[in-house]
Amino acid sequence: MMLRNMRTRNIILVFFCILFFSGTVCAQDTSSRQEEKKRLEREIEIINKQLSDNASKSRDLIADLALIKKKASIKQQICDNCDKEIRLISDKIYQKQREINRLQERLDTLSEHYSNLILAAYKNRDTRLWYMYILASENLGQAYRRYAYFRSLSSQMNAEAEKIEALQAELASEKDKLAVLKNEAKSKKQEAAASLKELEAARKQADAASAKLKKDKKAYEQQIRKKREQIQAINKEIEKMLAESKRKQGSSKSGNKMSQEDIRLASDFSSNKGKLPWPAIGPVIVHFNNRIDASVDLPQSKGIEIALDKNSKVCAIFDGKVIGKSFIRGSGGVCIIIQHGNYYSCYGILKDVKLNVGDNVRTGQQLGTVVSMAGSTRLLFQLQKDNVNLNPEIWLRKP
């Protein structure tokens, strides 16, 4: 018996734990979806600003194409998120309707029972009938039971009436909640329809820009060549700085072995894979090993390009030492390389840089501000380990 009671208590405890944690997870999911929506809307805002600035200063179709394609990608994410939210709300509506049906069944049962009590009370409304019914009892026990029945009839009716009122209030409350959910679903569907319309417009804009680039390739050859030269200059400068730093380290260390500090930094850096902070917050418009467009003859990206607001701060992603700082010709800014043991993070193109080669930096420390060129403001960010480029998005924490 004791074992059965313990099992029952454990089952009840587990049931309430599931209810509690499912409610907590649902609240967290709602909060995370709202945060993601804000982030995506912020990224759209950054892209629209850059497209506007580019339109007013220069018609750089290469820069526009990357921004427009990213805008379409973000719109697709927003549409997907709307679909997920609609499905979740639909599930809530279904569960709420089931709860309302269950309450209605209980209310109907109570109402029927209450009607029977009223009918019984009406039939026995004459007190003389009560006395005759009691006096007609076969024995004292039966007489007492009949007396107790009549005595409790009134209190039963009052108790049942209170239960019905409470159930009616609960049912009304649940129906109000259902109405709110239905309005939320309606609003979300309207939002989804608007997002889908915006997605289609963004796709058409991207297709039009890509088609224009293919059709008038010769007309935009100068832009393509300029972009290619810029990418090659940055990559070449990064390689040069890394080679020079490693050469100096090799000449100062016996056998090219890493110092204990470098080993510690490399270990700490590696253990933070997927948890490193972003150097700046904005949409990634060119991903690792990708091109802006298949029709554009540009080198594959060795890192990522992040679209930013003008004069956005750029910060170090981890503790380390500045081992390279070089001016990039024609950009109006510099590229910085920070060493984290045998890992290296590269940031370009920056201005207002106060750091020098040899300075130590801490995680989150500001390195400078991003440079804007011809209406385009973006951070070029690379990660390397032992002369091999890494995908930064795998190492940085999820936005």
Domain ranges of the chain: 26-215, 229-395
Distance CA 36, CA 41 (A): 9
pTM: 0.71
Q: C-alpha angle with apex 388: 384 to 391, nearest 5 degrees?
A: 60
Residues in the chain where the model's pLDDT stays below 50: 2-3, 15-16, 18-22, 24-25
Query: To the nearest 10°, the Cα dihedral for 319, 323, 236, 263?
Result: -60
Half-sphere exposure of 333 (CA within 13 A, CB side): 25
Pick the CATH number of 229-395 from 2.70.70.10, 2.60.40.10, 1.10.260.40, 1.10.10.10: 2.70.70.10
Sign of the four-CA dihedral 108, 110, 113, 119: negative
pLDDT at site 21: 45
CB 375 within 8 A of CB 356: no
> SS3 letters for the chain?
CHHHHHHHHHHHHHHHHHHHHHHHHHHHHHHHHHHHHHHHHHHHHHHHHHHHHHHHHCCCHHHHHHHHHHHHHHHHHHHHHHHHHHHHHHHHHHHHHHHHHHHHHHHHHHHHHHHHHHHHHHHCCCHHHHHHHHHCCCCHHHHHHHHHHHHHHHHHHHHHHHHHHHHHHHHHHHHHHHHHHHHHHHHHHHHHHHHHHHHHHHHHHHHHHHHHHHHCCCCCHHHHHHHHHHHHHHHHHHHHHHHHHHHHHHHHCHHHCCCHHHHHHHHHHHHCCCCECCCCCCCEEECCCCCCCCCCCCCCCCCEEEECCCCCEEECCCCEEEEEEEEECCCCEEEEEEEECCEEEEEEEEECCCCCCCCEECCCCEEEEECEECCEEEEEEEEEECCEEECHHHHECCC
Pick the CATH number of 26-215 from 2.40.50, 2.40.128, 1.10.287, 3.10.450: 1.10.287
pLDDT at site 297: 61
